[in-house]
């Protein structure tokens, strides 16, 4: 199956989509400092789906993440999450970034539990139900292979271990949507590939909706069921690609011709987008 042109924005209900981005523009600054990051971006992500967004550097991928989570308002267009118009920070989302940003003065367990101190209704319930929440955090640590490291300080963890803890923190409040912005980009290849398997396992068990922004095309094909390709800035979706490979996927799958063919299709498309701005 080759890359397909994105479907035009549809009117009517988007109830079959957990995330719906419709004809979104995003402009930073004014006057001579004005810079348009996104122009007419449209994406749908089904509930429980795993979408990846790829594209040339500076195309607005990270800006798209901020819009979906309500950290930035769009200049034009609409964004809905779980059937509700996004007009401020959404509490159904967890986020993980390239830098784990663990607080050095807190233990790993307390870092993981940090969202519970902020996100309702957990904030109201934390003091009364602390033991249950700690058990949930320890269950997540076990799921990512960090059993016994809850009392460790972040500096005692390797980069890969810190990123595992960051995933736990993003999932501790059981979000319906997980937003990932280059979460494994700073890790060595072996650790990165190991964490692909960890993330895939968590998603298959819990079936939260995922949007992954990545420069790593192998990562996108390994993890996602749908991949969206963005144009050069101002970013918009210029092609979408279903990934028909069955789950669970393994590292052995990354060498199969059907896997490699999809990676090459994506690389060729991004290369054309990069050439278009030269």
- Decide if 102 is inside a domain: yes
Instruction: Tell me, yes or no, whether 11 lies in a domain.
Output: no
Contact 68, 79 (CB under 8 A): yes
| pLDDT tens digits, 173-194 | 999 999 999 989 888 999 999 9
How far apart are alpha carbons 37 and 59 in whole angstroms? 7
- State the pLDDT at residue 15: 55
Residue 32: give its domain's CATH number: 3.40.50.300
Please check whether residue 6 lies inside any domain of the structure: no
pLDDT at 272: 83
Expressed as residue numbers, the domain containing 152 is: 17-276
Is 4 a member of any domain?
Answer: no
Q: Is residue 105 part of a domain?
A: yes
pLDDT at 100: 85
Ramachandran region of residue 170, left (φ > 0), alpha (ψ -120 to 50) or beta? Answer: alpha
Query: Has residue 3 got a pLDDT over 80?
Result: no
Does residue 194 lie within any of the structural domains? yes
Which of 4-8, 20-24, 60-64, 222-226 bottoms out in mean pLDDT, i.e. has the lowest?
Answer: 4-8
Number of domains the chain contains:
1
The DSSP H or E segment spanning 162 is helix 159-171
- In sequence order, the 6+-apart residues with CB closer than 8 A to the CB of 190 are none
Q: Are strands 17-28 and 76-81 parallel, antiparallel or unpaired?
A: antiparallel
Q: What is the value of pTM for the model shown? A: 0.90
Question: Which contiguous run of DSSP H or E holds residue 267?
Answer: helix 257-276
Residue 91 lies in a domain: yes
Percent of the chain clearing pLDDT 90 (strictly above): 70
* 246-261 mean pLDDT: 96
Give the tens place of pLDDT for each residue, 201-232: 999 999 999 999 999 999 999 999 999 999 98
Instruction: Classify residue 31: in a domain, yes or no.
Output: yes
């Amino acid at each position: 199956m080759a890359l397909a042109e994105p479907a035009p924005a549809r009117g009517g209900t988007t109830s079959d989509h957990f995330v719906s981005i419709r004809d979104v523009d995003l402009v930073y600054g004014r006057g001579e400092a004005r810079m348009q990051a996104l122009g007419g971006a449209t994406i749908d992500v089904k509930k429980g789906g795993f979408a990846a967004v790829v594209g040339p550097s500076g195309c607005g991928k990270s800006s798209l993440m901020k819009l979906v989570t309500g950290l930035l308002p769009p200049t034009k267009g609409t964004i809905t999450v779980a059937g509700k118009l996004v007009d401020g920070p959404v509490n159904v989302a967890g986020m993980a970034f390239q830098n784990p940003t663990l607080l050095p003065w807190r233990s790993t367990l307390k870092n993981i539990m940090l969202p519970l101190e902020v996100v309702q209704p957990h904030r109201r319930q934390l003091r009364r139900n602390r033991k249950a929440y700690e058990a949930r955090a320890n269950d997540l640590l076990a799921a990512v292979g960090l059993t016994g490291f809850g009392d460790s300080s972040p500096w005692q963890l390797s980069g890969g271990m810190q990123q595992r803890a960051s995933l736990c923190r993003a999932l501790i409040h059981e979000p319906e949507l997980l937003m990932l912005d280059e979460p494994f980009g700073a890790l060595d290849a072996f650790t990165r590939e190991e964490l692909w398997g960890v993330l895939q396992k968590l998603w298959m068990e819990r079936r939260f909706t995922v949007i992954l922004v990545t420069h790593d095309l192998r990562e996108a094909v390994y993890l996602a069921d749908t991949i969206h390709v963005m144009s050069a800035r101002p970013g918009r979706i210029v092609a979408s690609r279903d990934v028909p490979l069955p789950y669970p996927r393994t590292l052995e799958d990354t060498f199969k011709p059907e896997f490699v063919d999809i990676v090459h299709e994506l690389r060729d498309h991004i290369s054309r987008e990069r050439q278009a701005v030269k």
